[in-house]
Amino acid sequence: MNPQALQILRSTFGYEQFRAPQAEVIDTLLHGQDALVLMPTGGGKSLCYQIPAMARAGTGIVVSPLIALMQDQVVALKQAGVSAAFLNSSLSLSEARDVEQQLIQGKLDLLYVAPERLLMERMLDLLGRIEIALFAIDEAHCVSQWGHDFRPEYIQLSILQARFPGVPRIALTATADEPTRREIITRLGLQQARVFISSFDRPNIRYRIAQNPGGAREQLLRFIREEHAGDAGIVYCLSRKRVDEVAAWLAAQGLSALPYHAGLDNHVRAKHQARFLNEEGVIMVATIAFGMGIDKPNVRFVAHLSLPKSVEAYYQETGRAGRDGLPSDAWMIYGLQDVITLRQMLESSESDDAHKRVERHKLDAMLGLCELTTCRRQALLAYFSETLEQPCGNCDTCLSPPETWDASLPAQKALSCVHRTGQRFGVNYLIDVLLGKDDERIQRFGHDAISTFGIGRDLSTPEWRGIYRQLIARGLLTIDLEGHGALRLSDACRPILRGEESLWLRRELKPSRSKKTKSARGSASPFTDERDQHLWEALRTLRRQLAEKQSVPPYVVFHDATLAEMVAVRPQTLGEFAHISGVGERKLAAYGEAFLAVIREVLGAL
Ligand code: ADP
Ligand code: ZN
């Protein structure tokens, strides 16, 4: 390993060791070779180009698609004492000129640039006149025309190779799939690059998916209160209306929750996003419009009140939790209605058949993940062609294995009821028939005289809903195209209907008695010991004050993990303080005394 790189890791960033494969990636660039790095969110991609940019002569040029991301990175680098700047449309003309001057004078180790600006002839000329350490292309999946983050300017980045031969290039992404990888290689001309693929597992995220027997909001509130009081989190909802409603309701319950969706004014959205980043413990209730480019490290939970359309979307959205590696929750609740809505949206969409087939396949995979009775992480990783040998022990099905039961007979009744009523009715009606309800509509259609009338009295309405949900999720029943929610039999259900195959279903938990899986961490106050708790709060207060004074988010002063280590170690001297992970030379000098004073004060008072 390169000794200079290790020296920078320790003195500037305050970390003891490289994570795999950081050291090798850095070596590759230091040898002037190209690299492609595929690593999950929170894996530690930034250091892969930041350290070689500092170690090599000249400036490292980082292409980044989002202004917010650039600003965040530059603020964090400056905190660590690195000379970094960005060039994008948020700067005034004179500010931009200033940055260019620093660049020409060779004063910058790192310069972040938006792709469209990099490609301007003036900028390329400028770069021709200075020494360049490397080019880093962050969020490299933006070159993919098939991905949802496609940025046309990214394709033109291929000119860097021709214009600056000999300058090593590194492309980085957290998008795992094979087609995207191939596209990055061809479009960016990275055929010679060494490829580094990390596991996409996020072991600190606890996956939990529960059925919704009604009262989703209340369950969300209970989850936040019991397990994440005071924590920052994101709550995803399908529609804008639902976002507004849930945000207002949570706020009325005394939580600091804000709405975020494309229907809000730009300045309102910007304000809410800034509060989410800069304050502690803000809950963002959002549509999927929110999230890309949010790299707040201490998002402790991501909650879904509606089902994502695909496993990819689920992985990406839940992946915004726990970038700092501390325990975090991915919590989701879903019910029969979600399944019906998504199936209907898909079938009634304008897209062509081939497209629909792909989408149907994706949704099936997502529903499969939801209905699973084995380890969710194994299934999630398998979806990305990765094998996890053992069940993870950190998902709901591992922690409290669901009971299954032989539902063949009730399934036959449910399917047969669809058949007898002519495949024209929705779930509520079908359940009423099964329960033998005294109902005017049932009588009008003569369904009080069919053989399935009243044969389902042994089960309750919620139990029947659970059965129908699972039958739909498994594709044994389909939903009509006209959008009235009528259920139809699919070919796949015949063997069950005929009694040739048995069907085992997940036993639904009664909401009131639902077993609580123990919290991933507790909450923002991770300490059980009262003195530790006290110290933790005092350190957080100091961090917030220091951050406010400089108008930066608290986490760029120190991460939660660094504060937690201070509580555990209780350093007494600057020498001891320097050993805490995340304390580099600049932060030691800038903040060491202040934190030591708080530690002494709190411990002295106890
Ligand atoms: P990514 O860009 O891959 O999502 P980051 O580069 O933001 O991830 O890193 C995620 C977190 O891990 C950051 O808090 C970073 O400081 C931390 N980190 C990265 N490398 C190391 C290391 N070698 N030791 C300790 N912490 C690290
Ligand atoms: Zn598991």
Please determine, for residue 513, whether its predicted confidence score (pLDDT) is greater than 50. Answer: no
The verdict on 115 and 235 lying in the same domain is: no
At 544, the pLDDT band (50, 70, 90 cuts) reads: very high
The verdict on 193 and 211 lying in the same domain is: no
Task: Report the pLDDT averaged over residues 510-515.
Answer: 45
Contact 557, 541 (CB under 8 A): no
At 482, the pLDDT band (50, 70, 90 cuts) reads: low
Predicted local distance difference test score (pLDDT) of residue 375:
94
Predicted local distance difference test score (pLDDT) of residue 481:
63
The verdict on 394 and 444 lying in the same domain is: no
The verdict on 450 and 345 lying in the same domain is: no
- Counting ligands in written order, the one closest to the CA of 326 is 1
The verdict on 429 and 472 lying in the same domain is: yes
Predicted local distance difference test score (pLDDT) of residue 604:
85
In 3-state terms, what secondary structure has residue 211?
A: strand
Predicted local distance difference test score (pLDDT) of residue 530:
87
Please determine, for residue 427, whether its predicted confidence score (pLDDT) is greater than 80. Answer: yes
The verdict on 386 and 414 lying in the same domain is: no
Q: Tell me whether residue 362 is in a domain.
A: no
Query: Which alpha helices (DSSP H) does 475-606 contain, by range?
Result: 494-497, 530-550, 554-557, 560-569, 574-578, 585-605
The verdict on 172 and 54 lying in the same domain is: yes
Average pLDDT, the chain: 91
Predicted local distance difference test score (pLDDT) of residue 483:
58
CA of 370 to the centre of ligand 2 (A): 13
CATH number, domain of 595, equals 1.10.150.80
The verdict on 411 and 342 lying in the same domain is: no
Q: Minimal CA–CA distance to 86: which of 157, 68, 131, 104?
A: 68
Sheet strands side by side (includes 205-211): 205-211, 328-334, 299-304, 232-236, 283-286, 257-260
CATH number, domain of 224, equals 3.40.50.300
Predicted local distance difference test score (pLDDT) of residue 70:
92
Predicted local distance difference test score (pLDDT) of residue 512:
42
- Residue in the structure block whose two tokens are 């948020």: 90
Predicted local distance difference test score (pLDDT) of residue 335:
86
Domain stops at, among 197, 218, 243: 197
Whole-angstrom Cα distance, residue 151 to residue 188? 13
Q: Tell me whether residue 214 is in a domain.
A: yes
CATH number, domain of 440, equals 1.10.10.10
CA of 483 to the centre of ligand 2 (A): 36
Domain span including residue 451: 404-506
For residue 438, count other CB atoms closer than 10 A to its CB. 8
Predicted local distance difference test score (pLDDT) of residue 179:
82
The verdict on 565 and 532 lying in the same domain is: yes
Domain stops at, among 138, 169, 197: 197
Please determine, for residue 455, whether its predicted confidence score (pLDDT) is greater than 90. Answer: yes
Predicted local distance difference test score (pLDDT) of residue 514:
42
In 3-state terms, what secondary structure has residue 502?
A: coil
The verdict on 175 and 213 lying in the same domain is: no
- Per-residue pLDDT reduced to its tens digit, 343-358: 888 888 888 888 888 8
Domain stops at, among 478, 506, 534: 506
Q: Which tokens belong to 451?
A: 């053989």
Contact 144, 69 (CB under 8 A): no
Question: Long-range pairs for 272-277 at CB < 8 Å and ≥24 separation?
Answer: 273/68, 276/232, 277/72, 277/553
The verdict on 110 and 165 lying in the same domain is: yes
Q: Which tokens belong to 208?
A: 């939990």
Whole-angstrom Cα distance, residue 554 to residue 571? 21
Which residue owns the Cα nearest ligand 1 atom 14?
A: 324
> For the whole model, what pTM was predicted?
0.85
* Ligand 1 surroundings by CB, under 6 angstroms: 15, 18-19, 22, 39, 41-47, 295, 297, 323-324, 559
Task: Report the pLDDT averaged over residues 373-390.
Answer: 91
Q: Tell me whether residue 366 is in a domain.
A: no
Predicted local distance difference test score (pLDDT) of residue 511:
46
Predicted local distance difference test score (pLDDT) of residue 521:
47
Q: Tell me whether residue 158 is in a domain.
A: yes
Please determine, for residue 105, whether its predicted confidence score (pLDDT) is greater than 50. Answer: yes
Please determine, for residue 388, whether its predicted confidence score (pLDDT) is greater than 50. Answer: yes
Please determine, for residue 286, whether its predicted confidence score (pLDDT) is greater than 60. Answer: yes
Atom in ligand 1 nearest the alpha carbon of residue 43: 3
Which residue owns the Cα nearest ligand 1 atom 9?
A: 44
Q: Which residues contact 77 (CB under 8 A, 6 or more apart)?
A: 50, 84, 110
Contact 412, 431 (CB under 8 A): no
The verdict on 322 and 459 lying in the same domain is: no
Exposed/middle/buried for residue 322 (C-beta within 10 Å: 0-12, 13-18, 19+): buried
Predicted local distance difference test score (pLDDT) of residue 251:
97
Exposed/middle/buried for residue 121 (C-beta within 10 Å: 0-12, 13-18, 19+): exposed
Domain count, the chain: 4
